[in-house]
A and B are shown apart, each in its own frame.
Chain A
Amino acid sequence: MRQIDPDFLALPLRRLADAALQRARELGAEFAAFRLERVRAETLRLFDARLEGSSDADDLGFAVRVVKNGTWGFAGGITLTPEAVAEVAAQAVQVAEVSAPLNREPVELAAEPVHEGVWVSLYDVDPFDVPLRDKVALLGDWSAGLLAKGVDHVSASLMQVKEQKFYADSAGTVTTQQRVRVHPSLTAMKSEGAAFDDMRTLAPPVGRGYEYLTGTGWDFPAELAELPDLLAEKLAAPSVKAGTYDLVIDPSNLWLTIHESIGHATELDRALGYEAAYAGTSFATFDQLGKLAYGSPIMNVTGDRTADHGLATVGWDDEGVQGQRFDIVRDGTLVGYQLDRRMALLKGLGRSNGCAFADSPGHTPIQRMANVSLQPAEGGPSAEELIAGVDDGIYVLGDKSWSIDMQRYNFQFTGQRFYKIENGRLAGQLRDVAYQATTTDFWRSMDAVGGPETYVLGGAFNCGKGQPGQVAPVSHGTPAARFRGVKILNTVQEGGK
């Protein structure tokens, strides 16, 4: 297992935590937590094999969060001295006091065992140990290879993040964590007459290191070798006829549908209305827990903060709760929500399942998504077998456009590639396809779930939620799956053309 970087451990972590927690206690806080973070992010972008821009930025600071007289107070700072930290702790208490007249729901937290430990995510090569020039050269070579095969333009990007967190609270929990994630992506572009189109690699972002670009976890050369011909076929493909079709959806597309229609819909803060003015609420209201037929009986969904290489995988969350795996949908029925400590106690659900997260030292933890995943069927079919069961349908790969309403009912997705299915066989690509459905109709129409060999962990670096806005990385594992009778739009016709 890798170790936490020595220069982070060399910071006066415990001394600062002691100063903050002591000051908060002196000022009457019932609960206090200190979090010191360093988030380093490097992004590089190439266009037509030339470096277009790069940035290497970090965010180092700390936060003190208190409960005083049943009201939250939060303050963040950047000066890493005991005196400055104590002053910020006093600000957090002051914020709680100023805010108290607005608070009608006293804050109480679900109990959590005291933890002390260190956790590092699974990766082999720290991407920040790899020289920029090597990364540019690799992406440049890949881009040049695509250009040599007749595409007009290629954009390439690589995002890399290393997140280090130290957490200590007034109950005695002290944890230190480090995790790494990377997201390489290439998009090929081509014009044909007045039409143009593009196609992006399907490789998902992952909780791995630089080894992901050199053969561990994804075969980039193999995927890139196919891309120019696939794009040419897409440009020449017929436009889809709008109507109702059976769909077989690849994990590279279905992860995003899971994210939007299950992941966000089963966040308890949304179901309780805390996000009502912004991200929205949820059709999966709390009174339907244990009753709502979310999908067909073959639908089983878990929340998981322990999955290997998951983007939302942690040792402990930002309220000191240990990472866990839990059921959200079992045999098609809603059985669980994603929780933080306050909501777990408020709704009598016992222990939090560890879904509190803050994206930076300047932001307060809010309930964020675990790795929410659709479970494969043991001994279930392959993608080819799923396709073989469709007479007139469409096979969907890769994510692209997505949109869903504020209660997570009505969604519309496009993709990178759509293939016509005729009599159980693929019959060439289609263009201008979008699928549109209501969440429960869609998941209830799922009549087959692929086997474990079709299971892939997809995901996103930057899921947005909350005010002030926060971004969170999250993965979603899913097998390929089949859906019956889904509405397909022709996007050109939708544009009135």
Chain B
Amino acid sequence: MTPQEVVERALALPGADDRVVIVDEDTTANLRFAGNTLTTNGVARGSRLTVVSIAGSGTGVVSRSGVTPDQIADVVGAADRAARDAQPSEDARPLVAGEAAADWDRPAEETSIAVFRDLAPALGEAFAAAEAGGRRLYGFAEHLVNSVFVGTSTGLRRRHDQPTGRLELNAKSPDMTRSAWVGAATRDFTDVDVAALDATLAQRLEWAKRRVDLAPGRYETLLPPGAVADLMIYLYWSAGARDAFDGRTVFSKPGGGTRVGEELAKLPIDLYSDPARAGVECGGFTVAHASSRESSVFDNGFSLGRTRWIADGKLANLIQTRHSAEVTGLAETPAIDNLIMEGPAGGKSLEEMIAATERGLLLTCLWYIREVDPQTLLLTGLTRDGVYLVENGEVTGEVNNFRFNESPVDLLGRVTEVGAASQTLPREWNDYFTRTIMPPLRVPDFNMSTVSQAN
């Protein structure tokens, strides 16, 4: 059966007042390598049927993989029973109404190992070049295609095909004391230039040949777009309206309510999501497999558009369901699967920002980022794969790694320069979030709490 036929059959079965049916078809392919050789690889296929049944205002959600046509009724029956047994759902709302989208009948898109037909030989050449150049390459290439089909008993039929590709390349010196990293987000790998990425790595390993040991402290720091992405993704994940309204986050207003409308940054920074943004396109409607603080199964199919989370430096919106929007009195702004940050027009490139730096640190990546204090969104983590010393506009050597303690919210208020935004791959969070466009940032006093001995 096609996914569309599964949706129709599940919706047509009697038993519940209303129903939402979601079918996910997934295909993946990956290559992993270490020390200039392949380590693991694979292809896989998955198929999942999720049925949300609504009886009165109770909901039941059951999700099963590899469902055969004769098992659809079992899944629907289990969801119906769970709905009848359930307490009333606080987020219960009329289902999103609609009709069949024009592309509803198209088959699901797929990927296979063939997506690496150009990448694999390019990696082979890079391994050979690395071997000859005294470098060891480590990394991972992955391509995923998710096709999701959402149907509701109110007539809505929407589907989205999401390709997600990423390449991570990490080069190390043979003694493992010098390390550099580059990453690329892609939809299909046709735009990935392995040789150019490897050249960047070679340059950075050269920079690292001069080692400078620095003590912990606050340093003027240039955060490249990937590091900014990792910090802003954490901020975004912490921007749930309900938790803020309940007084539990950095976006809670002391005494009650949220900080929406408050200035977070002195510079006119915008942080927003836009499903249609070129290069980081993502689904234009809500898909919720379960309800939580920031998602509601009743919102499935809800249309998503450009949403400004921070506008001109002020907190503008928080992640909402339709239910939490009623509770908080704010706009209905569900989560979107991309994140974009921009500063004033005319921002410099990272290279120009380096050239304009008298003395400071240039980071590559942040790693093992974890929340220390939700009240301030203080995060801790490590620098990784290259902290470079910039003196008089040039990189003059590599510095030891540090543990940092910083709040991305507090940091926004201290940023003194926002560079030109570009598409980037976050380092730490790219398992979950790859579609980002971020600028480099200049922070006058980034808190390096202690030295890490790690290379």
Contact = CB atoms under 8 A, between A and B. Distances in A.
Interface string B275-315: 00000000000000111110001000000000000000000
Nearest to A73: B41
Interface in A350-392: 361-364, 366
A56 interface: yes
B326 interface: no
Contact of A78 (B65, B90, B247, B292): B65
A195 B252 CA distance: 11
A114 B46 CA distance: 31
A343 to B, nearest CB: 11
Nearest to A469: B431
A57 B67 CA distance: 12
Contact of A405 (B66, B375, B401): B401
Contacts of A57: 48, 50, 62-65, 289
B447 A494 contact: yes
Given A276-B138, A405-B454, A495-B373, A196 B447 contact: no
A102 B40 CA distance: 11
B135 interface: no
Interface string A45-81: 1010011111111111101000000011111111110
B38 A78 contact: no
A357 to B, nearest CB: 13
Given A52-B291, A53-B290, A410 B454 contact: yes
Given A47-B293, A95-B42, A495 B63 contact: no
Contacts of A464: 431
Given A51-B87, A274-B34, A436-B449, A95 B43 contact: yes
A99 B410 contact: no
Contacts of A193: 254
B211 interface: no
Given A273-B138, A277-B170, A467-B140, A494 B405 contact: yes
B189 to A, nearest CB: 14
In the A-B complex, list the 7 residue pairs whose CB atoms are closest, starting with the nearest.
A76-B44, A74-B42, A53-B291, A277-B138, A277-B170, A57-B63, A362-B44
Interface string A256-299: 00000000000000000111111011010000000000000000
Interface stretch (A118-126, A302-310, A317-325, A396-404): A396-404
B28 A403 contact: no
Nearest to B368: A403
Nearest to B63: A57
B42 A401 contact: no
Given A80-B66, A410-B403, A133 B291 contact: no
A438 B453 contact: yes
Given A195-B375, A276-B170, A491 B405 contact: yes
A136 B59 CA distance: 13
A409 interface: yes
A191 B248 CA distance: 9
A407 interface: yes
10 contacts: A80-B66, A102-B127, A273-B176, A361-B44, A405-B382, A409-B454, A410-B454, A467-B168, A468-B30, A496-B410
Contacts of A136: 87
A414 B380 CA distance: 11
Contacts of B246: 153, 189
User: Quick one: which of B35, B255, B380 has the most chain A CB within 10 A?
Assistant: B380
Contacts of A195: 375
B41 A99 contact: yes
B384 to A, nearest CB: 6
Question: Interface majority SS on B: helix, strand, loop or mixed?
Answer: strand
A104 B37 contact: yes
A464 B44 CA distance: 20
Given A56-B78, A401-B371, 19 more contacts: A47-B293, A52-B293, A53-B61, A61-B44, A75-B42, A76-B44, A95-B41, A98-B116, A102-B31, A133-B86, A274-B34, A277-B139, A364-B40, A467-B32, A467-B168, A468-B431, A494-B378, A494-B447, A495-B373
Given A45-B292, A495-B378, A496-B410, A102 B168 contact: no
Nearest to A440: B453
B65 A405 contact: no
Nearest to B407: A495
Contacts of B289: 55, 57
Given A406-B367, A469-B431, A132 B45 contact: no
B172 interface: yes
Contacts of B66: 60-61, 78-80
A108 to B, nearest CB: 14
Interface of B: 28, 30-48, 50, 61-66, 78, 82, 85-87, 89-90, 113, 116, 120-121, 123-124, 127, 136, 138-140, 142, 168-170, 172, 176, 179, 181, 246-248, 252, 254-255, 289-293, 297, 367-373, 375-376, 378, 380-382, 384, 401, 403, 405-407, 410, 431, 447, 449-455
Contact of B367 (A78, A105, A405, A468): A405
A9 B140 CA distance: 36
B141 to A, nearest CB: 9
User: Quick one: which of B136, B170, B403 has the most chain A CB within 10 A?
Assistant: B403
Contacts of B123: 102
A406 B113 contact: no
A33 to B, nearest CB: 13
Given A58-B64, A406-B382, A133 B85 contact: yes
Contact of A403 (B85, B120, B255, B380): B380
Contacts of A273: 34-35, 136, 138, 176
Nearest to A106: B37
Contacts of B82: 54, 56, 132
B299 to A, nearest CB: 12
A442 to B, nearest CB: 13
B34 A276 contact: yes
A414 B449 contact: no
A199 interface: no
A409 B453 contact: yes
Contact of A105 (B37, B63, B172, B255): B37
A250 to B, nearest CB: 20
B247 A103 contact: no
A194 B254 contact: yes
Contacts of B255: 194
B5 to A, nearest CB: 16
Contacts of A202: none
A50 B34 contact: no
B382 A403 contact: yes
A327 interface: no
Interface in A85-99: 91, 94-96, 98-99
Nearest to A362: B44
Contacts of A406: 367-368, 382, 384, 454
A281 B373 CA distance: 28
A47 B324 CA distance: 13
B63 A55 contact: yes
Given A104-B37, A278-B140, A497-B376, A407 B455 contact: yes
User: Quick one: which of A101, A281, A406, A438 has the most chain B CB within 10 A?
Assistant: A406
A489 interface: yes
B330 to A, nearest CB: 19
A198 B252 CA distance: 15
Nearest to A80: B66
B61 A55 contact: yes
Contacts of A52: 90, 291-293
A448 interface: no
A71 B169 CA distance: 21
